[in-house]
Amino acid sequence: MNLDHIEAFVYVIHFNSFNKAADALFLSQPSVSARIQALERELDAKLFEREGRHFTLTEKGKQFLPYAQQILQAMKKGKQQLQQMRAELHELRIGCTVSVSNYIVPEILPLLKLRYPNVQIKLITASSEAIMEKLVNKEIELGLVRNLTHPHVDSVKFCEDPIRLFVHEGHPFIGMKEVTMEDVGSQPLVFFECGSLDWMKIHRLFDALDQPPNIEFHVDNLETAKKLVLKQVGISFLPSLSVAKEREEGRLFPIDVPSLASLSLRTNLIALKGECTEFYSAVLDIGRTIQAESALR
């Protein structure tokens, strides 16, 4: 019998909703319905009476529910036992996005290792949604992702990375007293697409212009965007942490655009509720230290 089908059945009962169960399982509502139907075929029994969007448990569904809950509880206890064994081996698994892996994690891990010299740290890189799913499935203990929520997950702001316009050496914007979005839109642009809400704000500001922006390159990789600006083929909006080195070396220059003053890329620290509290607190503390040091530069 497929455990995923049993899990979908229990989640629908727990949330009293197919849609909410789908959200909690990171599935579509039709996928949850398909799992329930597959379970009914496996059991050769109808579990729900459906009337439009409403449903009730059948008698057979009521009889099966405690056994389904026991199966999931037994699986949860088994995972906890394995986790306990892994804790004794001193392994900490952290998931993060590519940009966090490139620019934030190298600052965190050395400080974390100083606090826990006997802990082996394993880093897993994926999208924010994939990291959240891995956390819920207990494949990792901590995650560093964009601002996402889940009913079984603690999520708190880890850092805010200001998004600024960066130009290459010798660009005419460097000497200007004020740069407007109209000025920016007239320049060759390298547009890095991150997917967060703040990047959508930039899109909306461009939509308000009389002329569309001159986007020469549309890329989904931060390093590519940065290197194209260094090649002097365009200018770009970039998270400040990603260009710290180039800025110190005098190769890239931040330009203030008043209408973009409040934009930032937010990273949240996530963990399952009530679990991994010691490491969770330690990483948060390290994040505050890094932010304070960055503010002094």
- According to DSSP, the β-strands at 120-125 and 91-96 are parallel
Structure-token pair, residue 295: 């503010």
Per the CB < 8 A criterion, the answer to whether 143 and 94 are in contact is: yes
Angle between helices 3-15 and 59-88 (to 10 degrees): 110
Query: With 70 as the cut, is the pLDDT of residue 189 above it?
Result: yes
- Which residue ranges make up each domain of the chain? 3-82, 160-264
State the average pLDDT over residues 284-290: 84
| CATH placement of domain 160-264 | 3.40.190.10
Structure-token pair, residue 183: 């000025």
Return the pLDDT at 196: 58
pLDDT band at 257 (very low <50, low <70, confident <90, very high): confident
Q: pLDDT tens for residues 57-91?
A: 999 999 999 999 999 888 888 777 666 655 554 78
> What's the whole-number average pLDDT of the chain?
86
Return the pLDDT at 161: 86
CA angle 7, 12, 14 (to 5 degrees): 90
What's the pTM value of the predicted model, to 2 decimals? Answer: 0.63
CA angle 246, 251, 257 (to 5 degrees): 85
Task: Find the Cα–Cα–Cα–Cα dihedral 99, 103, 108, 114, rounded to 10°.
Answer: 130
Overall CATH class of domain 3-82: mainly alpha
